A = this chain, B = another copy of it.
């Protein structure tokens, strides 16, 4: 039962440990959480004392099993809320993330399980992210690569997108890029590592930064 700040901290440790190694620097956390380095170090002590994280000075932070369980519970709430808001209120996939970011901290297990059952115990959220199940297990995603790692000339299906920027999600919606959209890789620009694709007979380009946040799987002919 950590505070909202602590829940967000734990969630940040979890997601930053996904990509990189098995630990995060305090400064990476500071950037993600939009607080100072000093605050991040400070917080690390508290969470460490409470057994949520492992923290050695100058060595970064990682989650204990207790911390990981907590992170997964919060992420479950986040993703179920997103799906629920879309299914029950017809919000757009670009609108649900910011609402879920708040609701995730104010939802009882009881309510969450009601929502889970209402949705039929779904495995994926509206952005293609797996929804941690009641028992804590996380559904497997089929093999995916980021747009940057794709091959020119091949066709792919969009399987997952990072939803953190509403601005970017709005743009996806505007150009008609959705989950399971079919895209064809036209080219990579050496100049800035952007990717040129074809989508619904239109040509679009994505910066390297955005390309890293679109995940695709190869279309089997």
Interfacial residues, chain A to chain B (CB-CB below 8 A) = 85, 88-89, 91, 95, 99, 102-103, 105-108, 110-111, 114-115, 118
User: Which residues of B lie under 8 Å from residue A118 when comparing CB positions?
Assistant: 88-89
CA distance A95 to B106 in the complex (A): 15
Tell me if A's interface is mostly helix, strand, loop or mixed: helix
A170 to chain B, nearest CB (A): 14
Oligomer copy total: 2
- Whether B103 and A108, one on each chain, are in contact in the complex, defined by CB atoms closer than 8 angstroms, is no
Q: Which residue of B lies closest to A99 (CB)?
A: B111
User: Which residues of B lie under 8 Å from residue A110 when comparing CB positions?
Assistant: 95, 99
CA distance A114 to B90 in the complex (A): 9
Q: Which residue of B lies closest to A108 (CB)?
A: B99
Q: Which residue of B lies closest to A88 (CB)?
A: B88
User: Which residues of B lie under 8 Å from residue A106 when comparing CB positions?
Assistant: 102-103, 105-106
- Whether A91 and B105, one on each chain, are in contact in the complex, defined by CB atoms closer than 8 angstroms, is no
